[in-house]
Amino acid sequence: MYSKVLILISFFSFLGSPSAYKIPFQKSASLEQKVISDYAIMAEATYNDSLLGAEKLTTALSNLSTNQEQQSLKAAIGKAKDTWAKEARIPYGQSEIFRFMNGPIDFEAINDGHTSYLESINFESAEGMMNAWPLDEAYIDYVQGAPDSGLINDLSINLTQEVILTLNERDGEKNISTGYHAIEFLLWGQDFDDQGPGIRPLKDFMIKHSPQSARRIQYLNLLGDTLLDHLMKVTEQWAPHETNYRKELLSRPSHDVLSGIFTSLISMAGDELKSERIENALLLGDQEEEQSCFSDTTVNDIYANALGVKNLYYGTYSATNTNLVINGIGVDKLVLMVNPELDRDIKESFQKLFQNITSFYSLDSNGEPLIGDILVPFDYAIVNEQSMVQAIVDELVVLDHMLRQAAKELGLTIAI
Amino acid sequence: MLSKSFNVHLSLSVWLLCLQIISFKAEAKTLSGSFKKDFSTLRENLSKEEIRLLKVGFSLFSKPWVTAPSSTKRRDGLGPHFNAISCISCHHGLGRGAPPGVIQETDPALLFKVSPSSSLHEKFGVQINSRSLPNLLPEPQVVLRRKPQDAFVHDKEKAQDNAQAQYLYHLIGFPKQLVSPRIAPHLAGLGLIAEIPDQEIIENLKLSQGKIRIINNSIGRFGWKADHSTLKSQIAAAFRNDLGITNSLFPEEACSSRQQKCREAQSGDDEEGVEIRDDHLGFVVGLISSIAAPKKSANFNVRGKQIFSQISCTSCHRPNYLTKNNETISPYSDFLLHNMGKALSDGLNEKLSSYWKTPPLWGLGAIKRVNGHSRLLHDGRATSIEDAIAWHGGEAKESKNNYLRLSKEDKLALLSFLESI
């Protein structure tokens, strides 16, 4: 009897210590399956939304050549910029949470003796051609200090989608002259103003002004079409088809998929967003060390990336381009089962994180942040308001730590 | 009664402690990416600040460098002549590159060094840069002369035949003795090699006829011919020679005296007059220094290990060192230069043409997992570990012959052991 008590005491003393071991929770296979199938539903919705945004963007870009009168050209450019920054980028930024687990967006064949579905169809990931950063500006168009540089100024090159993609490859390295940031660069131009974005002169889009202007519009349209093609390829893999990546994912062991989902949450919150996209900018000390440096909309990128993490945790998604709202079962339900306090702390951390991010936006008359209406551009902040930037970093550190703890308590394998 | 319960208590705590150790080990941190993490696992006990800084290093390592001038000033200055646009283009997953045609048709991971005493050097500089910015003429593309053969089999005669007729890579139209192909090695554990005391390497002189190469008053221990004594210098040379990114150690662009257009091209100089600032170069050095040694397999072939030592492989491929920080590491190299015979000679530099630094063998088995190939030696000519052994000549001839005389079972045991280190 005495010994039993002692064992119990010793066991509970472990629970009370900082590195406590929880009693293994009752795994619910059906709940885990639901979380995973909702993950797939959210991925499909996010990519569909990104696709709709990209379609709107290609329409806006195709209107540049047909609106050449000064006022309507100005309006058409304004519309294209707006569509890029909101309808196209906000869903895409949220979709980036679906990187990090070797899904279609950043798929890479792995030599492990097992042939996955994407390997069996020789799927090629296009992430590098959709969202590559930094952009090789002088490879595409003129820049300050090099007035004749780039494909647009080389009249000997006939611009086609195929030409752009082959030139883009440069010996198998795909990352230079296509994607969202190439479109951004051509719409806004280089940014040399620490208070505002790049201001590309209107004549750059006036076909009668120079052959280069016509080529610039042509290049923009080709970029839009290419982006659409790439997004379609990814989206197809997430549709509820008989054979595709999604189908295979749903048949994989829950432990692997949930480990992948937590790896994605941690990779985005603690590495990609925190280090690569925010902290590195502070450490390298340059104003244009930012994702969307031409349009000065990096705050939107940060917001959307963080929202992607939150979506996945809560199992929710609100589409930008339709009325679709998903309220699914997120991984929060799993965390709630093993450690309700931790789930509560994680949710509080999300709240603080979004307070810190939305402090960069203007407020409406009710004091609510206006998402997309940037008051403090990121490039200005990394030079002049570093504490605002640091506050986001600090909260991401907290979140990263707690997500790791949650993964550990769920018995998942996190390598990063 | 009481003592029994204490035993139970004790064993329970030991059990829980083990669990903690296991879970701690399973959580070794790795760099982010879709690649397998054998060559990109971080060393233990790094401080938060070190991790913060090495992540900037990884960004400079993996993001493409762009044409100057650009908005992203910290990232521009590519070329004018170059082989690749980022470090990771050749060191995928911080791993080992393959010659063209193995993983992808054109592959920057194999480049050609130019003989310093030849007229080609005046024309092209220290190495052939097969790519250039659009308005410049690139240097010759790497065109290959390949002799595909069946993979090596466990057969003595065939081994010798094969060794003479393997995949060889040349620049068509260039005399073989003037250009020398080099492949990108994996980068795991280099920080630990930097921490081996000089005295340990000097001791190795007693074990073989190997020679120390002195670079700037220090022992050369990095590069295929021990060309660099520090990691910083190795990395700085790669930045300038392979990417065209100038830095404090190599401040001049890699343009030859005859390449006028290259000399006139815009550079991406920053406030220090170079394209990657010294502190930023330091972040990349910090990254490489922070990568753990490739992980050994827990189940290694004991017989294979014995044979490895019995047939004297260990007299050059020395297994163990104690670093300055009291870590025991097993790189399997003496970091000395050895005459490896005519078949491996590159004719590049009269005195060193048949000399190669013993390459560390750790990570041999992981190359397949991370990089999807098993092309070995300095130019990727060998198609397997066994094939690489068959190429050994000169000072290593005796050990090679010992290998060839082994029974089939012993050969397999040895190869299995080499896959596990």
SS3 of B37-85: the string is: CCCCEECCCCCHHHHHHHHHHHHHHHCCCECCCCCCHHHECCCCEECCC
**Residue B44 lies inside a defined structural domain of this protein:** no
User: Which of B15, B32, B54 to mutate to probe the A interface, most A CBs <10 Å?
Assistant: B32
Kindly state whether residue B114 falls inside one of the protein's structural domains: no
B257 touches A: beta carbon within 8 Å = no
Whether residues B63 and A170 touch (CB distance < 8 A) is answered with: no
Across the interface, do A173 and B84 touch by the CB < 8 Å criterion?
yes
Per-residue burial over B1-13, b if 16 or more Cβ lie within 10 Å, else e, is eeeebeeebeeee
Quick check: A134 and B107 CB within 8 A? no
Closest by Cβ to A284, choosing from B67, B74, B84: B74
Is the confidence at residue A113, as pLDDT, over 50? yes
Q: How far is A382 from chain B (nearest CA, A)?
A: 14
Q: Which of residues 352-411 of B touch A (CB under 8 A)?
A: 368-369, 372
Question: Are B66 and A108 inside 8 Å of each other by CB?
Answer: no
Judged against a pLDDT cut of 50, whether residue A3 lies above it is answered with: no
Q: Is the ipTM of this complex over 0.95?
A: no
> Out of A132, A145, A275, whose CB is closest to B266?
A145
Q: Which chain A residues are Cβ-neighbours of B132 within 8 angstroms?
A: none
pLDDT single digits (tens) B126-139: 898 988 887 787 77
Contacting B residues, span 77-116, partner chain A, CB-CB under 8 Å: 78, 84-86, 89, 104-108
**Which residue is it, tokens 């991370």?**
B370
Mean pLDDT on A260-278: 96
Across the interface, which of B2, B6, B72 has its CB nearest the CB of A288? B72
Q: How far is B276 from chain A (nearest CA, A)?
A: 11
Count of structural domains within chain B? 1
Lowest mean pLDDT among A71-80, A157-166, A267-276, A404-413: A157-166
**Farthest CA pair distance, chain B:** 91
Q: Which of B72, B280, B287 to mutate to test the interface with A (most CBs of A within 10 A)?
A: B72
B318 found inside a domain: yes
Note whether B19 contacts A21, CB cutoff 8 Å: yes
Q: A415 to chain B nearest CA, in Å?
A: 6
**What is the domain range of residue B328?**
197-227+296-418
pTM of the model: 0.90
Report phi then psi at B326, rounded to 5: 60, 30
**What is the rounded distance in angstroms from the CA atom of residue B76 to the CA atom of residue B245?**
8
- B84–A100 CB contact, under 8 Å: no
Residues (pLDDT < 50) of chain B are: 1-26, 148-166
Q: B205 CB near a chain A CB, below 8 Å?
A: no
Cα separation, A266 vs B76, whole angstroms: 30
* Confidence label for A173 from pLDDT (cuts 50, 70 and 90): low
**Residue A26 predicted with pLDDT over 80:** no
What is the predicted pLDDT for the residue at B106?
81
Residue B72 with chain A: CB contacts under 8 Å: 134-135, 286, 288-289, 293
Who's near B25: CB < 8 A, 6+ residues apart?
none
Task: Measure in Å the smallest separation between the Cα of A269 and chain B Cα atoms.
Answer: 12
In a domain, B257, yes or no: no
Q: Does B261 touch chain A (CB under 8 A)?
A: no
| Closest chain A residue by Cα to residue B42 | A416
* pLDDT > 90: percent of chain A: 80
Question: Which residues from chain A sit within 8 angstroms of residue B34, using beta carbons?
Answer: 102, 106-108, 110
Q: What is the DSSP letter of A87?
A: I
A277 has a pLDDT exceeding 50? yes
- The pLDDT, as a whole number, for residue A168 is 56
**Inter-chain contact B73–A288, Cβ cutoff 8 Å?**
yes
Cα B156 to Cα A222, A300, B170, B306, B310: the distances in Å are 59, 65, 28, 21, 19
Nearest residue on chain B to A281, judged by CA atoms? B56
| Whole-number pLDDT of residue A247 | 97
**What pLDDT does residue A137 have?**
92
In chain B, whose CA is at the least distance from the CA of A99?
B34
Cβ distance of A137 and B67 shorter than 8 Å: yes
Residues from chain A that touch B9, judged by Cβ atoms under 8 A, are 6-7, 10
Quote the minimal CA–CA distance from A330 to chain B in Å: 24
Q: Establish if B319 belongs to a structural domain.
A: yes
Q: Distance from A272 to chain B by nearest Cα, in Å?
A: 8
Task: Calculate the CA dihedral of residues A254, A259, A263, A266 and round it to 10 degrees.
Answer: 100
CA neighbours within 13 Å on the CB side: how many for B103?
28
| Average pLDDT in chain A | 91
Measured in whole angstroms, the distance separating CA B81 from the mean position of its chain's CA atoms is 23
Spatial contact of B99 and B144, defined as CB atoms under 8 Å apart = yes
Cβ distance B85 to A143 less than 8 Å, yes or no, reads no
3-state helix, strand, coil in chain B (%, to 5): 40, 10, 50
8 A C-beta contact, residue B364 and residue B421: yes
Q: Which residues of A touch B36 (CB under 8 A)?
A: 110, 112
Written as one string, the DSSP assignment of B222-287 is BSTT--BSSHHHHHHHHIIIII----SSS-S-S--TT-HHHHHS-----TTSSSS-HHHHHHHHHH
Strands B214-215 and B218-219: antiparallel
Query: Which range has the worst mean pLDDT, A36-40, A130-134, A237-241, A270-274?
Result: A130-134
Q: Is residue B406 a contact partner of residue B307, using CB atoms and an 8 Å limit?
A: yes
**So what's the pLDDT on residue B4?**
43
Q: Tell me the residue type at A207.
A: I
Residue B336 lies in a domain: yes
Residues of B in contact with A133 (CB under 8 A): 63
Q: Bigger pLDDT: A152 or B158?
A: A152
* Domain membership flag for residue B12: no
Q: How far from B414 is each of A348, A383, B161, CA to CA, in Å? A: 56, 58, 21
Cα of A32 to nearest chain B Cα, Å: 22
- CA B381 to CA B167: how far, in whole Å? 5
Residue B316 lies in a domain: yes
The DSSP call for residue A24 is: P
Using a CB-CB distance cutoff of 8 angstroms, which residues of chain B are in contact with residue A394? none
Give the pLDDT of residue B3: 44
Q: pLDDT tens digit string along B179-195?
A: 888 999 999 999 999 99
